[in-house]
Amino acid sequence: MRSILDSSMSSGFNHSRPRKSKFILGALVLGAVPLLVSTFAASVTVGNGSLEFGQGSQQATACDSTVFIAMGEEWHPSPTPTDPSNGYFRVRAVTISNLDLTTCAGKKLRLRLIDGASSEITTGPTPDSKVLQIALPDQAPTSNVSDPVALGLSYLSGIGAPISTTLLATVSLSVSGTAVYDGTTLSATNADATFYLDPTALTVNIDGQSVRRTTVETVNNPKAPGI
């Protein structure tokens, strides 16, 4: 059985290196150095949505009992006048693995990155872009989905308010192939949701060492009557 602090990191330049951490009951944490584990409130309400933190209390309700997260990094050159070889590993993508799209159908899925000062890291083009969100399909898909419009990819502020700005991120929801986290076979009950923060690497370049925690949240997504 893998422990909560299971992690794997490979080093090197000019290639992606994943970092992995086990998530229990829907929302845990991803540690850099050192590995940290945080407990979140069991009951939080944002606007009209019921926010589900799956970790922190057994009374909390989450749509999936066990998910995992892997953070993919790639070398990002940042030369200085005194060191032309300077750079760092930027966060290229964050994948939520082992996601059950049957029990989580129709819910909103949110991702936050937290730094060592317990502050939310900006993940979009504006300073208040703190959350990446998608809307999971009402019915579990039978093929991979990578249309950001179909998945409702958007930025939110830290309190969950929508932000109208240029969308730099992309997303994929995979139900076939192999899981990023552990190489298992993907399916509707073992899916990968991957957020690519900025494929162009021109604007959003987060130093992977600054990420101390990652939170995953599910939010009820009520439909208007008749929809």
In contact, 95 and 72? CB cutoff 8 Å: yes
Task: Write 147-155 long-range contacts (CB < 8 A, 24+).
Answer: 152/108, 155/123, 155/124, 155/126, 155/129, 155/130, 155/131
Q: What are phi and psi of 193, to 5 degrees?
A: -115, 115
Question: Is 39's pLDDT higher than 70?
Answer: no
More confident residue, 24 or 200: 200
At 41 the pLDDT is: 32
Question: Is 105's pLDDT higher than 70?
Answer: yes
Kindly report whether the global pTM for this prediction surpasses the value 0.85.
no
CA dist 169 and 2 (Å) reads 31
At 137 the pLDDT is: 95
Residue range 146-165: average pLDDT? 95
Please count the helices (runs of H) and the strands (runs of E) in the chain.
Answer: 0, 12
Cis, bond preceding 34 (omega within 30 deg of 0)? yes
High-pLDDT (> 90) share of the chain, %: 53
Q: 25 — alpha (psi -120 to 50), left (phi > 0) or beta? A: left
**Of 6-20, 29-43, 52-66, 138-152, which one has max mean pLDDT?**
138-152
Pairing mode, if any, of strands 170-174 and 87-99? unpaired
CB atoms within 10 A of CB 106: 15
Residue range 203-208: average pLDDT? 95
Q: What are phi and psi of 208, to 5 degrees?
A: -60, -30
Residue range 192-219: average pLDDT? 93
More confident residue, 27 or 104: 104
At 46 the pLDDT is: 36
Q: 75 — alpha (psi -120 to 50), left (phi > 0) or beta? A: beta
In a 13 Å sphere around the CA of 9, the CA atoms on its Cβ side amount to 18
Question: Is 29's pLDDT higher than 90?
Answer: no
Q: What are phi and psi of 209, to 5 degrees?
A: -70, -15
